[in-house]
Amino acid sequence: MKIAQYYDHERVRVGVIEGESLLPLDFQGSIIEFIEQGTPAKPKGKALPLDKIRFAPAVSGPSKIIALGLNYLDHAKESKGAIPKVPLLFAKFPNSLAGHKEAITWSEEITKKVDFEAELAVIIGKKIHRVLKEQVMEAVFGYACANDVSARDLQFSDGQWVRGKSLDTFCPIGPWIVTQDEIPDPHCLSIKTVLNGTTMQDSNTNMMIFKVPEVIHFISRQITLLPGDVILTGTPHGVGTFRDPSIYMKDGDVVVVEIEKVGRLINPCKVI
């Protein structure tokens, strides 16, 4: 099942994707409340064509967004970074969330080096803390495409990553969540970034150093995970900053994150 959030005028609602349409659900709460409820709502109302939908972020209002650095072997090699011995965690703030087809925006007074990072997002489905590794996948609600947009000049000058990763709109996620039952193995999916029609990243989730169960287990031993929390599982090689010459996104660009069996997340870029 594919679950999406969309705007009904200025109100965010939840719907289910069927083919090229969205069916509104008979549910009045947020996606997190939908996840917590645990029982599917029934469709109610007329099907809406996807090309007429204004998508909201696939998740809104999570208690936290936890991301992994250097979690793809090919990306660790291109960055000349040491292979982490344990998952390397950092945070993105919820204000960074953006939906499918929403603009990634920034001011050049703040940053001039805005980079793309295709990532498989894991959406947590229930409260989890210190459970057995064999049980952690029971806490996964589903998966989504995400773009861990990064202001490299801020990231590298600060010496830590939070500011450069957390500017408004710097975490597009969507277009929808694909429930876990549709993706029994998240470690065999092609993952790409396409910038203005040119493929920049082209890899596979089998390049992850720390696999999804290990990542969730590691985090949950130390940090309680709640329904709707987002884990970004790292990006593969091909990011703009490590190219020669470096390539950064600019005003008017269109960036696409595409993950096999999950979807295509499209965002225009706009300097404000």
Q: Are residues 166 and 260 part of one domain?
A: yes
**Mean of the per-residue pLDDT values for the chain?**
94
* pLDDT confidence of residue 194: 98
Specify whether 63 is located in the same domain as 25: no
pLDDT score for 192: 98
User: pLDDT (tens digit, 9 = 90+) per residue, 127-177?
Assistant: 999 988 889 999 999 999 999 999 999 999 988 889 999 999 999 999 999
Q: Does 154 share its domain with 25? A: no
The domain boundary, picked from 31, 56, 81, lies at 56
Residues 106, 35, single domain; the answer is no
Both 44 and 83 in one domain: the answer is no
Last residue of a domain, one of 12, 34, 56: 56
Domains contained in the chain, number = 2
- One domain for residues 71 and 184: yes
188: CATH: 3.90.850.10
What confidence score (pLDDT) does residue 160 get?
85
CATH of the domain at 48: 2.30.30
Residues 1-59 have pLDDT tens digits of 999 999 998 899 999 999 999 999 999 889 999 999 876 778 888 999 999 999 999 99
What's the Cα-to-Cα distance from 46 to each of 15, 21, 26, 49, 178, rounded to whole Å?
Answer: 11, 10, 12, 10, 22
| pLDDT at 22 (0 to 100) | 96
pLDDT number for residue 108: 97
Domain shared by 44 and 144, yes or no: no
Q: Is the pLDDT of residue 64 over 90?
A: yes
Contact 123, 59 (CB under 8 A): yes
What residue numbers bound the domain in which 16 lies? Answer: 1-56
Phi, psi of 264 (to 5 degrees): -125, 120
The pLDDT of residue 2: 96
SS (H, E, C) 175-195: EEEEEHHHCCCCCCCEEEEEE
Do the Cβ atoms of 71 and 211 come closer than 8 Å?
A: no
| Full-model pTM | 0.95
Question: Does one domain contain both 209 and 110?
Answer: yes
Q: How far is CA 244 from CA 28, 113, 196, 258, 260, in A?
A: 50, 14, 18, 24, 28
Q: What is the pLDDT of residue 40?
A: 73
| Alpha helix (H) residue ranges in 104-151 | none
Pair (32, 94) in one structural domain: no
Q: Are residues 18 and 82 in the same domain?
A: no
